[in-house]
Amino acid sequence: MSKQTTTGIPTLTADDKLTLQTAAHGVAVLMAASDPGAISSTKAGMAAGKALTAATGLVGRVLAEKPKGLKFNGKSTADIADQVFDAILRSLVLLAAEAPEETDNFRATLTTAVHAARQARPGANPAQAAMADKITDLLDRP
């Protein structure tokens, strides 16, 4: 858990940061994985990753750090989704407890990454739309 600095900004532990980073970077990985084709999946992943760099506040500072220990385990999108979805939910709980003013920022940052990935290629992609819906549903949980 975090502790407060003298300025009132929470200082997250390394594990807390890794949870937020796993959630955010995992969204980029999942959005790329759900867009078939080497070029289009690369574009989706890059667009989502670039969107993460626009994050501000505590969330932005955490995402700007080089992730230490970030690893996506599994041989399938389903395996990675399990890890990322869990990290999203844990991030929401963590932020609600430690930095409630950052919860909406986190949601907006991940939502922006999802939208950026979807716009990386014109045209409908049902698999990517389904993944976006799953991520959005998690982010909309109270």
pLDDT in tens, 101-121: 999 999 999 999 999 999 888
Assess whether pLDDT exceeds 50 at residue 6.
no
pLDDT for res 129: 92
CA dist 76 → 5, 25, 80 (Å): 40, 17, 7
**What's the pLDDT tens digit per position in 35-94?**
777 777 889 899 999 999 999 999 999 999 999 999 998 889 999 999 999 999 999 999
Provide the pLDDT confidence category of residue 132 given band limits of 50, 70 and 90.
very high
Mean pLDDT of 19-27: 97
**pLDDT at res. 74:** 87
In whole angstroms, give the CA distance from residue 17 to residue 77. Answer: 23
pLDDT in the model for residue 13: 95
pLDDT tier for residue 9 given thresholds of 50, 70 and 90: low
- Assess contact for 67 and 141: CB atoms under 8 A: no
